[in-house]
Amino acid sequence: MLLRGRLLLPPDPMSVRRARRHLGEVLQEADREHWADDAMLGVSELVSNVVLHAHTECEVSVEVGDDEVRVSVRDFATSLPTMQHFSPYATTGHGLSLVGQLSAECGIDSLGEDGKVVWFVLRGTGRSDDLAGIDQEWDLSGLLPPEDPTDSGPTALLTGVPVRLWLAGLEHHAAVLRELYLVLSGPHPPARSTVDVSAADTALRALFEGTNRALDHAGGRPGELDLLPLTPATNSTPAAIAAPPPPATLDVEVSLDDLDTAALEALREALDLGQRLARQGQLLVRPALDELVTLRDWACDQVAAQSNGAAPASWDNALLAGPGVAEWGPPDWDDSAFRGSPRPLLVADDGNRLIAVSPAAAEVLGGSPEDFVGLRITAIIPHRLREQHIAGFIRHLATGEARVLGVRLNLPVLRLDGREVLRCVLIEQQTVPGGRSVYIASLDPLPSK
């Protein structure tokens, strides 16, 4: 027995639903409903990739045999898939891993200038109820044709990139573009926009591809930033954070073949619009932290400048501090008790910015309260600890993990004059009206021994 079904779909979010329905009908006609859950999950991921990244029509083909079902999704874009090594709690980037986990076989067939076909085969009784290892990667190395090392055009070089923060930023940008495309393509888009999300995706893909090449050349792909261990606190001694290793950096060469000024500008505009919608609660992702926006803007500026003949300029970690770069508004709540407290208290919001500073805390930091309100928290964190703080805060916002909340820590804080002072820091979280969180930190003197 062999039953075939074929469906041509436009690059539209509704195509995902139509592909699922078509596949379900074919399997029902073939009396193979036991494959339906896995097959529809897999085809949803593959058609979503076409809609979000290929931006072409796609052709869904189904072949049902006695012992297997083969599902193929063809698009007409020449770019090939890339594996994104996103964190386990990322809201995007796991589609190919998921397809690889649920299928008996899978593959990618390049058709050159005519596009590509991504396919998977299901056998047995289906196993979508056993995806415990879904974070395992679908290794594309054996499925794609090797790159031609002689096929190289003009490039831009991003030097000294803080690699783990860069990967966190790319992950967030990909999630924002996915959400933005789906929201703007819906029947009731929340904003009138002329943003070219397809061009923005092309620019982001160029940054991803350059990063993957750099990581491959470096001989490894760093995973999540390992948060530094805390030494246990005792009744008389607060906990302490281990000395961090030097931050890992990477030089990323970005191809300019498909990346022009218009695509870079589209990327900025799309991500800025995504920031505004995320702050309004209209996307499923949180707004990016200022530090990720700063790193993104630096990269776009570098690519644009080098495409016009400028020399590369290395990333400077000092850019992780200073005033915020994105639209910002503090939570709507009464912070007068903290601003007027005789204790050395700082209050930060869930955007990683200082929103209230008591006079005693400002004195510890070598300034007045007005000098600090609106700055990023990283402005008072020594350079060597900034990447750790940002990584930990991103993970906390994504997962709720709270390693340092409610734990007394002996930590250095950075004064305005550049000197460091060691204080006993206790950070506590509080939910305020509107569902936002604030973080209250005390900068007390070290306990006497």
The answer to whether 197 touches 177, Cβ cutoff 8 Å, is yes
- Quick one: pLDDT at residue 231? 65
**pLDDT of res. 134:** 40
Cα dihedral 120→124→129→130 (10° resolution): -80
245-273 pLDDT, tens digit per residue, is: 666 788 999 999 878 889 999 999 999 99
CA dihedral of 397, 401, 407, 412, whole degrees rounded to 10: -50
Residues 248 and 237 sit within 8 Å (Cβ to Cβ): no
Count of Cβ atoms closer than 10 Å to residue 406 Cβ: 10
pLDDT tens digits, residue range 334-384?
Answer: 899 999 999 999 999 998 999 999 999 999 999 999 999 989 999 999 988
Helix-helix angle 95-102:36-49, to 10 degrees: 150
Identify the pLDDT of residue 133. 41
Alpha-carbon span 292 to 289, nearest angstrom: 6
Domains in the chain, ordered, with CATH? 3-123 (3.30.565.10), 155-320 (no CATH), 336-444 (3.30.450.20)
User: For residue 1, what are the CA distances in angstroms to 29, 32, 176?
Assistant: 12, 12, 45
Q: How far apart are CA 429 and CA 412, in angstroms?
A: 20
Below-50 pLDDT ranges, the chain: 128-138, 150
Rounded to two decimals, what is the model's pTM?
Answer: 0.75
